[in-house]
Every structure is written in structure tokens, then in C-alpha cells.
Amino acid sequence: MNAIRIPRKLIRVCKRFVNTEAKCQDRPQWIRPVGHQTEISIYNPITKCKVPLILKTENILKWYICGPTVYDSAHIGHATTYIKSDIIRRILSDYFNMDVLLVMGITDIDDKIIKRSFESEKDFETLSRHFETEFFADMNKLNISEPYLRCRVTDYIPQIIQFIERLIAKDDGYVASDGSVYFNTSKYNKYGKLSTPVFDTVDDQNFIGKKSALDFALWKAVKKNEPSWKSPWGYGRPGWHIECSAIASTVFGNSIDMHSGGIDLAFPHHENEEAQSCCYHSVDQWVNYWLHCGHLSLKGNAKMSKSLKNTISIQDYLENYSANHLRMLCLLSHYRNGIEFSDEVMQTAVSVTKKLDNFINDCDNYVVGNFKTGEIDENLLYTTLHNTRSTVYSALADDFDTSKAMHAIINLVGIGNKMLHQDNVISYSNNVSVVAAVSKYLSNTLSKFGISRSTKSTVENGQIKDIVDHFLNFRTVVRIRALEQNPKDTILLKECDNVRKCLSTCGITVKDQQNSTSWSWKQ
């Protein structure tokens, strides 16, 4: 009987999962899901190691993400969390062909919103809708994909009340004397699954009727002039943690593939969500994979926070840098790592973005014959492209390691650039196909990461391209004639330089080689 041939890639994936799970055997808190195994491994904050990503339904990933509390404008610290999540979402959907159902909760009622409402003398709904609209406009400017569903807390009050009623009926919640309702952590023996509880981050211990400092509010009794809703325990409003549990349970039921947010949400928010949801659904594990993004901090490791008044608004950021630059900053770092923001760090992201864009433009100009220099080693470039594909694929499958993937891509660009810019070598475009293949691969991969290129329409691009081509052909003739004069015609050369500068202000980059000129759109 013939032996069954197993693909090498699958063998590598299986070995990685076997080795990973062996290291995790001493951490029994996480329950391996039953379902369809993917080629991806993902860091698990419960086991403190990487585990295989297994989906309950083949090729469908159910994902809940904690959205904004809409009482103020978002800053770039918030933005990097959503950019990192967007990159992972795009990798899952566009790179690994999964259907990602991303649901985002919008906290449109809480202490901060009420406080700002009183200060501004606006009702909480007007205030929260304003900042919600602004938030999604900012996300659009940063090329962050819309969630599949946006779910406002105030639209789910009946479901939240029903959720709390069930917890009380099961003795996992209790009503305090003032009409507030608390979760009884002493009844849940798995509390602390995600992180060791820290008392200075738990709910206010001075609330009337709490049995334990760790118990957290499911429902807050109404205070004077506050917005409130009627419940079986009196008028009040939801606690913070119950909101996400009720929304996600309404949409996804008793099991969620992935739940994400910033690292600061691991405790108490996500810990409390998991505890109350496991009790509500009578399951040992509600979320199969928790995903936490590292923070953006200012130089000196100071966390960017509205309370510290050290934030940079998205609008202010976009006056100096582009959406691509902030996304590149996130791509160059692992999503779980923190990033220290500074102009020096941003210049690295700007430089890499420009290098990649210039190389793709040079490749495209080489292919159409506008780039006359260079010596292409076809075998070396094809081999480098093949190795880059393999490295990028493995890196993304290994806990979405975009940092490793980007370094492989930068290495490919470095090798390609040396070939395209060989001094004093006239190219006759004998190796167009390999250059085109590299350009196509880079464009597709960066697009899958959410790096945008041109926002102009195809028709507009075509019309402008013809105009620029004709004009630059004329400029090239003038420039070559000026260079051939003895001595060189410095007046004409200066005018050619002025033309290049003027086109730059119009968003067009002109590059002069020996006896030819190429151009590209600025990014």
C-alpha cells in the first residue's frame, strides 16, 4: 500500500502546535476548543504561551472588541489599539481567507459621560452621539475597517436586565440595600483566570452593601439627576462590565472565538466579563481566545491618558503624519508590545513607508520601460521573493508577528533596490517578469495590512498620467540637451529642478536617472 504523503507545511504547523501545547500542559485553566483547526497559533494570556487557533465553525471567526467610551475625542493611543486589531482582522480575512464577524460595543452611558454631560449642559445622548460620530470618522481617516456590528449599550438595556436577573436567580449576584446589584466573586472559583486581582483596580469598595472588595457592580442605583432605567431592583443603569457580556452574548451566544482590547482591560474588565458570562451560560469557558494590544506611551514610558492630559488627538497627529505612517509604526512592532511614541520613532515609520512606496514605483516604472538603469539577477530575486513569501506566511501564522514579516519584506526591497540602482548599467528590460512579480507581491501584501496607496479614481489617474507623461517627456529632452552642453546649461537645469519641486507640491515625485525620468504619486 502506498504511503500517504503529508505536505511539509502541515508537518511544520503540527510540530509547532505539539511543542507549544507540551509547554502548556502545566496550565489546565484553558480549555482547548472543539472545532476546526487553523494554521495559526496565538498567544493565550491564560496559559501564558501560544496555542493553536481552533474555530467552532469552519472559516468563521466570531470576534467581540471593546469599543470607545464616547465622552471625548479619541487620541492616537486609542487609535493604535484599533489599528493593531484592524491589522489582525485583515490578516485573518484577507490573508487566511476567514469570514471575520467583528462586533464592537459602544459605551454610551457611564460615569464619565454623565460628568461631561453635566459640565457641558448637554443631555448624555446628544453628547455621546457626537463623540461616537467623531470616533468613526477618525477611524475612517486611519483606514480602519468598520465593524460588522456597532452595538450601543443603551440599545441593550432589556438584555442587560435579563442577564442580571438570571445571575441573581443563580445566586451569582445579589441586591444591595440601595438597589445596586453586585456579582458575587466568592461563588466563582475560577476568578483570576486572566490576571491576579489587584485591589486598587477593583470597583469602589465604599459602595453600600458590598460583601467583598472584589465584587463588582452589575447595576448601579440611580443618583440625583442621573439618566436611569427601570429595573426589578429600582431605577438605575448598567455597570461597566455587564454591558459587553450582555451585548456579546446576545449576538454570539454562549461561546466567542475571540475577544480583544487594550492590555489595560485584562483586569478588571475582561476578567469580570469572563466570570459573569461563564456563570450566566453555565460554561467553564466563554471566550476561547483573549487578545490584548500593547499601549502607546510617550517618551519616558508615560501612558497616554486623558486624565494625565498628555494625549495627542488624531486630528493633530494627521497634521504632521499620515494614516499609513501610524499603521507602519504598528506593523513594525508586535501587537502585544508597547510602543514609545516620539518624532524619532515616527521618522523610522515614515522612512520605511517611503522606501517601500518608492521601490514599488521604481519597479512599475522599470516594467513599462521608464527606468533605464539597473542589472537584475533573475535567479537571486526570484529566490529572495520565494523566501520572503515563506517567512511572511510563517510569521503571520505565528501570533500575527508583523514585525518579523516586515523585516523580511524590507530585506526583499533592499536586495531589489541594489539591482535597480546599479550605477552606470543600462538595462534593456530582459528581466521584467521578476520585477513585476516582486512589485505585485509587495502591493498585495501591504494592501492586506491596510497600507493604502492612491485614493484617486482610475479615470482621474489615467487622465493625469497622460498629461504628466507628456510634460515630463518634454522636460527630459530639455534636461538632456542642457546636460550635453559644454559647459552645462545651468539656467535650464535650474528650471528643470524648479519644475520637479513644483510637481512635488502637487503630490507628484519626479526621479531623474542618467538620461531618463520616472515619476510616482506621493503617499
Reply yes or no on whether the pLDDT at 5 is more than 70. Answer: no
Helical H runs in 181-266? 240-252
Domains of the chain plus CATH, in order, are 8-293 (3.40.50.620), 456-523 (no CATH)
pLDDT reported for residue 461? 57
Which residues make Cβ contacts (< 8 Å) with residue 187, sequence separation at least 6?
A: 171, 172, 279
The 3-class secondary structure across 399-440, one letter per residue, is CCCHHHHHHHHHHHHHHHHHHHCCCCCECCCCCHHHHHHHHH
Note whether 208 and 177 are within 8 A (CB).
yes
Cβ neighbour number for residue 20 with a 10 Å cutoff: 17
Helix (H) or strand (E) holding 41: strand 36-44
Instruction: Measure the CA–CA gap between 517 and 57, rounded to whole angstroms.
Output: 53
Note whether 17 and 41 are within 8 A (CB).
yes
Q: Report helix, strand or coil for 83.
A: helix
pLDDT reported for residue 200? 58
pLDDT reported for residue 27? 44
Note whether 292 and 260 are within 8 A (CB).
yes
pLDDT reported for residue 520? 81
Q: Retrieve residue 244's grid coordinates.
A: 459587553
Q: Report helix, strand or coil for 14.
A: helix
Q: What is the pLDDT of residues 241-296, one digit of tens each?
A: 999 999 999 999 999 999 999 999 999 999 999 999 999 999 999 999 999 999 99
Q: How confident is the model at residue 4 (pLDDT cuts 50, 70, 90)?
A: very low
Q: What is the pLDDT of residues 143-182, one digit of tens each?
A: 999 999 999 999 999 999 999 999 999 999 999 999 999 9
Note whether 513 and 476 are within 8 A (CB).
no
Instruction: Measure the CA–CA gap between 462 and 48, rounded to whole angstroms.
Output: 52
Reply yes or no on whether the pLDDT at 440 is more than 90. Answer: yes
Instruction: Measure the CA–CA gap between 82 and 65, rounded to whole angstroms.
Output: 9
Which of 297, 245, 295 lies closest to 271 in space, CA to CA?
245
Instruction: Measure the CA–CA gap between 215 and 202, rounded to whole angstroms.
Output: 8
Q: Retrieve residue 272's grid coordinates.
A: 469580570
Q: For cell 469598595, what's the residue?
A: 205
Answer whether the bond into residue 52 is a cis peptide, omega within 30°. Answer: no
Mean pLDDT over residues 423-428, rounded?
A: 66
What's the distance, CA 72 to chain centroid?
21
Q: For cell 481552533, what's the residue?
A: 54
Which of 294, 304, 308, 404 lies closest to 339 in space, CA to CA?
294
Which of 115, 105, 110, 92 lies closest to 135 in space, CA to CA?
105
Q: Retrieve residue 401's grid coordinates.
A: 508577528
Which amino acid, 216?
A: F
Instruction: Measure the CA–CA gap between 297 and 284, rounded to whole angstroms.
Output: 35
pLDDT reported for residue 301? 65
Of 190-204, 273-287, 477-491, give the lowest mean pLDDT range.
190-204
Which of 205, 206, 207, 202 lies closest to 220 in space, CA to CA?
207
pLDDT reported for residue 28? 47
Q: Retrieve residue 16's grid coordinates.
A: 509547532
Of 14-28, 306-320, 385-399, 488-502, give the lowest mean pLDDT range.
14-28
Rounded to the nearest 5 percent, the helix, strand and coil shares of the chain are: 50, 20, 35
Cβ neighbour number for residue 458 with a 10 Å cutoff: 8
The DSSP letter of residue 321 is S
Reply yes or no on whether the pLDDT at 475 is more than 80. Answer: yes
Residues 426, 431, 434, 435, CA torsion sign: positive
